[in-house]
Amino acid sequence: DGGITQSPKYLFRKEGQNVTLSCEQNLNHDAMYWYRQDPGQGLRLIYYSQIVNDFQKGDIAEGYSVSREKKESFPLTVTSAQKNPTAFYLCASSPTFDSYEQYFGPGTRLTVT
Amino acid sequence: EDKVVQSPLSLVVHEGDTVTLNCSYEVTNFRSLLWYKQEKKAPTFLFMLTSSGIEKKSGRLSSILDKKELFSILNITATQTGDSAVYLCAVPHGSSNTGKLIFGQGTTLQVKP
């Protein structure tokens, strides 16, 4: 089955630790995205990648880093510099960089205490 | 600054009712407007609208765009408990075609039996 997988579903970390969230897609999509969702708010774009080996900052990139070494993988690292890391993180992909219909993974809920 | 505003933020109805969700936007270089349904985890795509006045329909759901007044509505007729979800509206933003979307806060719909 084609789709996007994110792991783990739930993640708990202590303040000051970096943590990496996994996102894998087997849809052969060029573009991938990371969003953050807080209660009562819509999705906010953290980073996006239009093609392998390239990525760009989104609207709230501070405290986050990404890599895109393989087409199917777009991991997100939440660093200790991110002031409010507790949130629901969603990964998405789209066939090409200019197609707006995005397909979402099931998300990872990160709790930092 | 580009923005998307949805209303109401939450709505409680009974099965069989008809609901109308609103999405207004301010964005430079408008290209399209998208609706997503988010049940628990991953948002799923509903509609993409690009032309004003043309209704998109899928079963009991329909949506229409008004590019003059800068808004879209999502109608759900004969609601069912399975329609309970967060409904998200999004528009592409930025000066070039990058796939970047800006999302509204979402409307949380609860349908009671």
Between chains, do A50 and B106 touch, taking CB under 8 Å as contact?
no
User: pLDDT tens, B8-51?
Assistant: 999 999 999 999 999 999 988 888 999 999 998 889 999 999 88
pLDDT of the residue at A1? 59
Residues 23-82, chain A, touching B (beta carbon < 8 A): 31, 33, 35, 40-45, 48, 50, 56, 58-59
Pick from A31, A98, A100: CB nearest B48: A100
Q: Is B3 on the interface with A (CB under 8 A)?
A: no
- State whether residue A98 sits within 8 Å of chain B by CB: yes
Interface with chain A: mutation pick from B33, B41, B95, highest number of A CBs within 10 Å: B41
How many whole angstroms separate alpha carbon A105 and alpha carbon B10? Answer: 24
**Token pair for B71:** 């808004």
Q: Give Cα A113 to chain centroid, integer Å.
A: 20
The whole-angstrom separation of Cα A33 and Cα A7 is: 15
| pLDDT > 80? residue B98 | no
| pLDDT the model gives residue B76 | 98
B104·A42 Cβ contact <8 A: yes
pLDDT in tens, A62-108: 999 999 999 999 999 999 888 899 999 999 999 988 888 899 999 99
